[in-house]
Amino acid sequence: MTNSSTAPTLSKAPLRVAVLTGSVREGRFGPVVTDWFLRFTAERGDLELDPIDLAEHPLPEVVSPEPHPEAAPVTTRLAAADAFVVITPEYNHSFPAPLKNAIDLHYTQWQAKPVGFVSYGGMGGGLRAVEQLRLVFAELHAVTMRDTVSFHRAWENFAEDGSLLRPDLPEGAAKGMLDQLTWWGRTLRAGRAVSPYAAA
């Protein structure tokens, strides 16, 4: 529980946002999208970003609900986060298996925290993957943001240097999603400080 002197300090502290790149497939487009998102978001002074690329952090397969020592470096970073942004492609109308594995390896780390989405793909822009992720995170007592960022035919949206060819719509969508994430992140962080979340 916080006291009156701690609460103002907490409210002014930057929001810690873990940014997960969910695809590990060879030749993936995910790092292009992630790099753009990190550059765009870094312009805000109220967020502290922690990029976690699952391709760089191979995790064990889920075999039990017990803690997995091999996952400890990622587990620690997820636990320290106040909010999350998941960057995902759409594979066969869903999201990548390594992303599901990373989610399932953890439980309390997601609870009472907000989750935003940046998706990419073909004509669907990864939106079907996002809709399925909403159900998964709801089961984990996380709050998903209503607004998302999606790139339809993603490879046609970026120049060779990774910049956006038509930035207005994606940047506007990202700002809206981040504004929601920040409000929820600060509100839920304050709530957890006053009364630790207990799942039913």
Q: What are phi and psi of 126, to 5 degrees?
A: 80, 5
Closest CA to 117 of 145, 152, 137, 136: 145
Q: Hey, is 82 helix, strand or coil?
A: coil
Which one-letter amino acid corresponds to residue 123?
A: M
Q: Is there a domain that residue 199 lies in?
A: no
C-alpha 155: how far from its chain's center?
21
Alpha helices in 21-85 (DSSP H): 30-41, 72-80
- CATH code of residue 110: 3.40.50.360
Q: Is there a domain that residue 200 lies in?
A: no
Q: Are 75 and 117 in contact (CB under 8 A)?
A: no
Lowest mean pLDDT among 31-35, 55-59, 61-65: 61-65
Q: Is there a domain that residue 41 lies in?
A: yes
Q: How confident is the model at residue 64 (pLDDT cuts 50, 70, 90)?
A: confident
Q: What is the pLDDT of residues 19-28, one digit of tens each?
A: 999 999 999 9
The whole domain housing 102 covers: 6-194
Q: Is there a domain that residue 150 lies in?
A: yes
Q: Is there a domain that residue 177 lies in?
A: yes
How far apart are alpha carbons 16 and 49 in whole angstroms? Answer: 6
pTM of the model: 0.93
Q: How confident is the model at residue 10 (pLDDT cuts 50, 70, 90)?
A: low
Q: What is the pLDDT of residues 86-128, one digit of tens each?
A: 999 999 999 999 999 999 999 999 999 999 999 999 999 999 9
- Which two structure tokens, joined as six digits, stand for 184? 């929820």
Q: Does residue 181 register a pLDDT over 50? A: yes
Q: How confident is the model at residue 1 (pLDDT cuts 50, 70, 90)?
A: very low
How far apart are alpha carbons 147 and 127 in whole angstroms? Answer: 11
Q: Is there a domain that residue 103 lies in?
A: yes
Closest CA to 181 of 142, 151, 129: 142
Q: Is there a domain that residue 1 lies in?
A: no
- Number of domain units in the chain: 1
